Structure 1
Amino acid sequence: MADQLYLSLWFPNFRLETLPQALTGVLRQFATISADPRVAAASAYPIDFTESPTYQRIYVTDDRAAETPDTLAAAIDSAVAEATEGLHDDMAYEFEMKWNLWFPEAKAPDEEAPEPDDLPDDLEDSFEDIAPRKQPIPFPSKPGEEKTIDAGWKRYPTSVRFIGFGPEFEQSGYEQNGHIRVDFGLDTPWVLEDEELDKNAAKHIQQNVEMLLAFTLLVEKHCNISSRLLWTESGEPLAEKLIARLQRLN
């Protein structure tokens, strides 16, 4: 069964006034591995998520917006500054961005992704920290290079939500959720539990995992966090689910 996947981040000596800077840093790291470095939407929620947002903006991020004020405002610094202009202890600030993940074409999201960018070179081999790979996995660096391994698969834009919590939001829920929580959505791109795995599918799942790991390591390296936790709503570790899936291959 598909499970929600999250990354919780805690910062040393956290104070509310440092939240915009922390959010900006995390979003910038995500932008380095995302096909689109712009913020797609921003919201501010009072008290808890059952309340209507007091601030909400959806940015125009398609090609038509290339030279518009909306595109300029969608820059990470501007988007965070605008959404957090009124900082309050009982508010949560949410930002949406997109990255490109592999999906079987039969299960494709609605919108096809543009060609993906490279991952940072120093993170290319980091997947071994989660599960051993049987052979090297090429990272697409030129348009069309991924076509050697993409039989029946394509990259599609997938939304990721970044939520910064005020200390009194949801009765101090940030102590458990993290000062910032990243919501990756369902773990389907990394596990594909309802798919019959072959070596081709395993390669694409591994590339999705490498994207996830690359972002996590970039945050750890550049965002001055004190701790992090990658977790699922059910409590079942993603690494164990992934290894169990890959071990089914002959």
Structure 2
Amino acid sequence: MADQLYLSLWFPNFRFATLPETLAGVLRQFATVSGDKRVAAASAYPLGFTESPTYQRLYVNDDRSETGEESSIENAVAEATEQLYEDMAYEFEMKWNLWSPTIEDTEEGLEAVWKEQPSTVRIMGFGPQFDDASFDQNGHIRVDFGLDTPWILDDEVLEAAESSTANSDAAATYIQKNVEMLLAFTLLVERHCGISSRLLWTESGEPLVQKLIDRLQRVN
């Protein structure tokens, strides 16, 4: 079953006034891995996770945008956090390309065809009074990778992968590529962002590492 995947980050002696700079630092590490330094969207949420954003901006990152300066990390963070409130959370969306399969019905049966697909990652920084100080559990900054399916294949893809040795080898290869992207980002944050601790976790509480081992054993 698909599961939501998060990375929570805590910082030593964290001061709320440094949140914009800290967020920008994490965003820059993500950009290093993704190869795209542009922010796709920025939002500011009041009070708790169920509230509607009081600030939201979607950036045009295609041929219509001339320089990309408006969607740069520095500009997007500065605009969204211009007014810092302790009961607010500030979220930034960025994209990276992960390998994803589509199932095609061929003469040999179901086959998984792998392509790089854009995937949205949301990086959120929390004020100390947001959602009853939930940063104690969520981290001063939390990275939401979306569903864990790029790393943990669903059953339909697994069945297609198991149908032939070629499919099985491809699945293992592309899962590994996606895992390398995830690890590269995590290691860059550890090295360059001055964190005190981190936690990679799923919404269900099931350990990602064990799920990875189980999936890779099936396709190997």
Q: How far apart in 2 are the matches of 1:97 and 1:175?
A: 24
Of 111, 128, 145, the residue aligned with 1:184 is 145
Q: How far apart in 2 are the matches of 1:38 and 1:248?
A: 37
Of 85, 88, 94, the residue aligned with 1:88 is 85
Superposed CA RMSD in Å reads 1.3
* Residues 190 and 205, structure 1, Cα contact 8 Å, conserved in 2: yes
Equivalent residue of 2:219, what SS? coil
Give the Å deviation of 1:15.
1.1
Q: Does 1:230 align with 2:200?
A: yes
Partner of 1:101: 98
* Residues 171 and 219, structure 2, Cα contact 8 Å, conserved in 1: no
Q: Deviations over 1:110-143 (max 9, x none)?
A: xxxxxxxxxxxxxxxxxxxxxxxxxxxxxxxxxx
Give the Å deviation of 1:36.
2.1
* Residues 89 and 166, structure 1, Cα contact 8 Å, conserved in 2: yes
Q: How far apart in 2 are the matches of 1:6 and 1:16?
A: 22
Give the Å deviation of 1:35.
3.6
Note the 1:27-66 alignment, pairs <5 A. Answer: 27-66=27-66
TM-score (norm 2): 0.90
TM-score (norm 1): 0.79
**Which stretches of structure 1, 4 residues or longer, exceed 6 Å deviation after superposition?**
none
% identity of equivalent residues:
71
Partner of 2:132: 171
CA gap of 1:61–1:106, structure 2 versus 1, over 3 A, is farther
Q: How far apart in 1 are the matches of 2:17 and 2:142?
A: 17
Q: Please say which of residues 32-41 and 178-187 is displaced more in the overlay.
A: 32-41
Q: How far apart in 1 are the matches of 2:142 and 2:63?
A: 29
Q: Quick one: which amino acid aligns to residue 180 of structure 1?
A: I
Q: How far apart in 2 are the matches of 1:63 and 1:220?
A: 35
Partner of 1:136: none
Give the Å deviation of 1:248.
1.8
Q: How far apart in 1 are the matches of 2:52 and 2:206?
A: 31
Q: Does 1:214 align with 2:211?
A: no
Partner of 1:200: 170
Note the 1:64-75 alignment, pairs <5 A. Answer: 64-67=64-67, 71-75=68-72
Q: How far apart in 1 are the matches of 2:42 and 2:210?
A: 33
Give the Å deviation of 1:93.
0.1
Q: How far apart in 1 are the matches of 2:42 and 2:103?
A: 31
Q: How far apart in 2 are the matches of 1:6 and 1:223?
A: 17
Q: Quick one: which amino acid aligns to residue 159 of structure 1?
A: T
Give the number of equivalent residue pairs.
204
Note the 1:100-139 alignment, pairs <5 A. Answer: 100-106=97-103
Q: Quick one: which amino acid aligns to residue 200 of structure 2?
A: L
Give the Å deviation of 1:64.
2.5
Partner of 1:243: 213
Give the Å deviation of 1:249.
3.3
Give the Å deviation of 1:19.
0.5
Q: How far apart in 1 are the matches of 2:172 and 2:205?
A: 23
Partner of 2:109: none
Equivalent residue of 2:25, what SS? helix
